[in-house]
Amino acid sequence: MLKKSIWKKVSYLAIVPVNPKPLVIGIKYFNINTLMGQPLGWLKWPTLIGLVFSALACVVTAYFLAQYTKSFFAERKIPRSWRFILWGVFITAIAEIGEILGFYEWPNAGLIETNLLLLIPHAIGGALIGLGAYFLYKEVVS
């Protein structure tokens, strides 16, 4: 009984708990002065630069990798490994954009940003990059 009540209290120790009634889109709550509901102060600009840089880096990387695979394999079929890595990086770029929205909208992040732009693309992107690298290794071994 005591254990249960302690656990219940511990469960709600979140500093800025999520909105119990999640919104479909939370863009109106987008605020670069807070991250995960915490006021950023002097870290406002470094945080924004870091997050935007991450998203841009993924977009630019996807572009370079697309150029590389297109030219390197030319007429040959692009192997599964590189297709996976390329798509993985591209989808991760979408997730990094979703991350910016989610972090800055918290605790009122919308369901669309959280799921369709952040969690689902992040999981798919990560899995594709991992599998792509695995296939790359398999291709050289076999």
Query: Which residues of this protein are in contact with other proteins, per CB under 8 A?
Result: 7, 10-18, 20, 22, 35-36, 38-41, 43, 46-47, 49-51, 53-54, 56-58, 60-61, 64-65, 67-68, 71-72, 85, 88-89, 99, 103, 119-120, 122-134, 136-137, 140-141
Cα gap 66→83, rounded to integer Å: 9
Q: Using an 8 Å Cβ cutoff, are 95 and 118 in contact?
A: yes
Closer residue to other proteins in complex, CB, 28/127: 127
Nearest approach, Cβ of 121 to other proteins (angstroms)? 10
Closer residue to other proteins in complex, CB, 28/67: 67
Q: Using an 8 Å Cβ cutoff, are 129 and 85 in contact?
A: yes
Nearest approach, Cβ of 75 to other proteins (angstroms)? 15
Alpha-carbon distance values, 48 to 67, 75, 81, 108 (Å): 29, 42, 33, 19
Nearest approach, Cβ of 54 to other proteins (angstroms)? 5
Q: Which positions ≥6 away from 135 have C-beta within 8 Å?
A: 79, 80, 81, 84
Nearest approach, Cβ of 133 to other proteins (angstroms)? 4
